[in-house]
Structure 1
Amino acid sequence: MYKTLTASIALCLAACSATPVTQAPANDPVTLRVNVFRGASNIPIYMAMEKGYFARRGITPVMQFTPNSEQQRAGLAEGKFDIAHAAVDNAIAMIEVAKKDVVILSGGDGGMNEMLVRQDINKPSDMRGRTYVVDAPDTAYALIGRKILKDAGLVEGKDYKIDPLGGSENRFKGLDSPAGAATLLNPPWNFLAKERGAKSLGTTTALYGPYQAGGIFVMRPWAAAHASAVERYIAAYIEGCRAAQDPAQKALTLKVLSRELKLDANKAEMTYQALNDPSGSGLSKDCALDMQGFKNVLALRAEIEGQWGGKAPAPDKFLDLSYFNRALQHTLP
């Protein structure tokens, strides 16, 4: 009897000390306002909608399209929507410059960007006397371009100037004017620009290195007050990301890309290949955050914007990956 009781206690203690498996959050119906740029980076959202991953968790995402990052940052701070998908450097700018209580919850992709230029430009140093077209000059992809031009020996404001035109579609159109000599574009805009005569100087991964581009960020108090909805949203997003990366679902992914981005079959295929680029510029596995890429984001901001006395801080203050890690436990394989 004593041995049996001892064995039972031991089993209980072992079970209690094991890592607990969290229960999936209840599927209480909720509508979430999701703000994004138009582009291929939204494919995990589109696939999650297509496959019913949001619906089975009681989530109804309502997508809003932003014309530029300044409006997106302002809209998030003002509560005009709940979730932002964009280059995570925008969240850093909100935290450090605008002093807003923002937090990054997930990664997404490496940006898939190329430096596109007019035909008479053969190398970054040829931008002397020309105009670099950006979204907002002090965040994200604009900083990568400024770094590339700096490394080419050009001094901003002296050797070249910056023109903030807004999102990818506006920058794509900006290359049609003589003033717009260079910009960074990702799918499908880079393909469309090259079709209209633009030249590529290379991908930003090749020109700069790993970079955590797209991700999910929200107001921190809102996330805490809506933890269940956030976790369910991210779980569906992860599954949508997996579907977009699954070779068995390529035909469906191409169909969704064609429909949502208004692409012909050839551009949909090129976009699909960019999304699944093994170099690291496309979707990350499970759309998780690339920590080295994120450290490079901080280092770039420290160098180009001169923040933190030129020395990048630790990533922890900008991130809360606990929502992502819990969501990961409740995803379909």
Structure 2
Amino acid sequence: MAGVPLRVCLFSGASSLPIRIADHLGLLSEAGLAAELHLTRGSRELVEGLAAGRYDVVHAAPDNFIEWSDRTGADIVSWIGGTSGPLHLIGSPELAGLADLAGRGIAVDSPDSGFVSILMKIVRAGGLAAEDVSLVPLGSTQLRYEALMAGRTAATMLALPWSAMALEAGFSLLGDRDQVLPGMQGSSGASLRTWLAAHPDTADSYLKALCAAITWLNHPANLEDANRYICETYGTSPALADAVHRSIMDPRTGWSPSAFIDPAGMDMVCRLRSENGRPPDRPATSYYTLEPYRRVFGFGLGPCAGEPPEDVEGA
């Protein structure tokens, strides 16, 4: 019997590893889903596709969803977690520090993408002002990595595996998100609120499949197979594949076992937007929901974000 259609859009970086493993191992099919995974070349393409109904679930930095919701009125809600790191500002080998970026161009996905808020936090922490650098839109992390390797940009924000590959090639580490924004929700899965409300069973099946993939990735017996998949998918060395695997599955900065979206991490995303002069239109709790977790796991979560607590009898 054919599965329930599900269209998922994501970036090709290692932060999407559990999603791609869920597809690779057939876990999405086992969950009753006929999933199509689409790799995007940029955040604008991804979010526009979600708003237009071309995708059901998208994975990216939650700042992208807040920006798009506030600017266009599209009711986008994050409901799956992801990683909170690592994310690095990597520069050309001749750059000794952040001060050397003054007057240089930094490649970004788009000027209003989620990584830009983090980039400007790193720039300010290094003693530079926003006007000291210029932003050059180039698209996805892979495209920016290729531009950095070819000398077409002085620096860019890179996630795994490209950050590790660039450092291995002798490029300079200029900044680390975890140093300036520890615990921030770095990536999330989101849908239109109307789709999520209309398809709870599909959402729950997807969440269960991702949790099964995370469990598989965390099991020591699967380490060799997981690292082989990383090598084949991203073209890394075995040693680098192992480092990528350990980082993405790190319980502090990687995927949690339940793919949980962290309310404190989402609050930090909103506070960073305010710090950068782009305060969100609504409270942080309106941009995410814990409802799928309450349905799937049920215990200890209490009311969903944004919901009033239920009346306690006798209170």
Q: Give the alignment's TM-score, normalised by structure 1.
A: 0.83
1:142 is the counterpart of 2:111? no
**Deviation sequence 1:110-154 (CA, Å, 0-9, x none):** 132112111232222221111121112223111111111123332
Contact 1:138 / 1:305 at 8 angstroms: preserved in 2? no
Contact 2:9 / 2:40 at 8 angstroms: preserved in 1? yes
**Deviation sequence 1:225-244 (CA, Å, 0-9, x none):** 11111111111112212222
Partner of residue 74 from structure 1, selected from 31, 37, 48: 48
Q: Which one-letter code corresponds to 2:155 in the other structure?
A: A
Residue of structure 2 in register with 1:171 after alignment = 144
Q: Which one-letter code corresponds to 1:133 in the other structure?
A: A
Q: Which one-letter code corresponds to 1:296 in the other structure?
A: M
1:329 shift after superposition: 5.4
Structure 2 Cα separation of the partners of residues 141 and 285 of structure 1 = 25
Partner of residue 187 from structure 2, selected from 199, 211, 214: 214
Q: Which one-letter code corresponds to 1:113 in the other structure?
A: L
Structure 1 Cα separation of the partners of residues 113 and 274 of structure 2 = 11
1:320 is the counterpart of 2:289? yes
Partner of residue 260 from structure 2, selected from 265, 268, 288: 288
**Deviation sequence 1:248-288 (CA, Å, 0-9, x none):** 3212221222233233322211211221335x332233221
RMSD between superposed Cα atoms in Å: 2.1
Contact 2:29 / 2:35 at 8 angstroms: preserved in 1? no
Contact 2:5 / 2:34 at 8 angstroms: preserved in 1? yes
Contact 1:46 / 1:256 at 8 angstroms: preserved in 2? no
Q: Secondary structure of 2:134's partner? A: strand
1:172 shift after superposition: 0.5
Q: Secondary structure of 2:36's partner? A: strand
Q: Secondary structure of 1:180's partner? A: coil
| Correspondence 1:28-177 to 2 at 5 A | 29-156=3-130, 158-177=131-150
1:42 shift after superposition: 1.7
Structure 2 Cα separation of the partners of residues 170 and 46 of structure 1 = 20
1:51 shift after superposition: 3.7
1:224 shift after superposition: 1.4
**Deviation sequence 1:54-101 (CA, Å, 0-9, x none):** 222211211101100011111111111111011111111121122101
Structure 1 Cα separation of the partners of residues 211 and 283 of structure 2 = 26
1:33 shift after superposition: 0.9
Instruction: Call closer, same or farther: CA 1:304–1:179 in 2, change over 3 Å.
Output: farther
Segments of 5+ residues of structure 1 without an aligned counterpart are: 1-26
Q: Larger Cα Rg: Structure 1 or Structure 2?
A: 1
1:248 is the counterpart of 2:221? yes
Q: Which one-letter code corresponds to 2:270 in the other structure?
A: L
List structure 1 segments (4+ residues) > 3 angstroms apart after TM superposition: 176-179
Structure 1 Cα separation of the partners of residues 176 and 215 of structure 2 = 24
**Deviation sequence 1:278-322 (CA, Å, 0-9, x none):** 5x33223322112222111111111114325xxx95321111211
Q: Which one-letter code corresponds to 1:282 in the other structure?
A: G
Instruction: Call closer, same or farther: CA 1:155–1:201 in 2, change over 3 Å.
Output: closer
Q: Give the alignment's TM-score, normalised by structure 2.
A: 0.88
1:178 shift after superposition: 4.7
1:304 is the counterpart of 2:256? no
1:328 shift after superposition: 3.1
- Report sequence identity in percent: 28
Q: Secondary structure of 1:320's partner? A: coil
1:191 shift after superposition: 1.9
Segments of 5+ residues of structure 2 without an aligned counterpart are: 300-315
**Deviation sequence 1:142-198 (CA, Å, 0-9, x none):** 111111112333222x31111111111111122135551221111111122223331
Contact 2:7 / 2:57 at 8 angstroms: preserved in 1? yes
Q: Which one-letter code corresponds to 2:13 in the other structure?
A: G
Residue of structure 1 in register with 2:176 after alignment = 203
1:219 shift after superposition: 0.8
Contact 2:77 / 2:192 at 8 angstroms: preserved in 1? yes
Structure 1 Cα separation of the partners of residues 199 and 255 of structure 2 = 26
1:202 shift after superposition: 4.4
